[in-house]
Amino acid sequence: MNAHESITAAIRAANARGEPALVAYLTAGFPSRERFLEDLRQVAEGADVVEIGVPFSDPMADGVTIQRSSRVALSQGVSLGWILGELERMTPRPRAPLLLMSYLNPLLAFGADRLAETARRAGVGGFIVPDLPFDEGEPMRAAFAARGLALVRMVTPVTQPERLRRICADSQGFVYAVTMTGTTGKHVAVPQEVTQYLDAVRALSPVPVCAGFGIRGREQLERLRGHVDGVVIGSALVETLERGADPAAWLRGLRNAER
């Protein structure tokens, strides 16, 4: 199975259990660089897919929580190279597939081909790149495709229908449906427009659809049920780690509430 197929499979497996998949985000090396692999292991226990955030100096799509986690991680010397090195030496690797979420510039600085090769060796299944819109995919897309790695594409409530169709057709692993116009870390109310938009994305997409941005708790998960194949939990989980709470238990708490 290709790396990107294993991501799709993990989401479908959660759906087969009758629940939306949990895609859990943490910023690598936050709150502590030393605890990264341990935090990752715990998050992976409670999640179906894990997104590992590569900190960047200018996180323009992120709200205050991920701005803060990125700044702290950078100040502790976390880099893409360090993250990949840690993942490569991690044994055993988590069962949940891993994605890297990174702004484009650190990826460019690493080099597309070298990145794809190093990521594959480190057990990374694919990438989410918030400042890489559909039309600017190369050369990353080709380098990832050559190694079976996913480039997970994003769609938003303002994406026009024809573009939506093309993005869904191109996305691998899943389609990341941004719930709202805005940065990460807010609280989205999930009104009917949002569920209608998610239904429309799902009708078009050959791969699973996961909703993200602003999803923090049980009530929102309930409202999204039936309209998505998975949800991405970001800032709320980062805040959980920051408080020193057990992330696996926190994620399990979300799940139990789903029933």
Residues 6+ apart with CB under 8 A from 120: 3, 147, 148, 149
Residues 6+ apart with CB under 8 A from 24: 43, 44, 46, 47, 49, 50, 51, 232, 233, 237, 247, 251
List 1, 18, 89, 158, residue binding another protein (CB under 8 A)? 158
Q: Per CB under 8 A, which of residues 6..35 are in contact with another protein?
A: none
Answer whether 48's CB lies under 8 Å from 21's CB: yes
Which tokens is 78 given? Answer: 């976390």
Q: Which of 48, 62, 86, 229 is catalytic?
A: 62
Active site annotation includes 219 = no
Active site annotation includes 193 = no
178 scored as a contact of another protein (CB under 8 A): yes
Distances (CA, A) of 78 to 83, 99, 125, 150, 250: 7, 17, 20, 23, 25
151 scored as a contact of another protein (CB under 8 A): no
Q: Per CB under 8 A, which of residues 55..84 are in contact with another protein?
A: 56-61, 63, 67, 71, 74, 79-81
List 42, 69, 159, 235, residue binding another protein (CB under 8 A)? 159
Count residues near another protein (CB under 8 A): 41
Residue ranges that bind another protein, judged by CB under 8 A: 56-61, 63, 67, 71, 74, 79-81, 103-110, 130-136, 153-156, 158-160, 163, 167, 178, 181-183
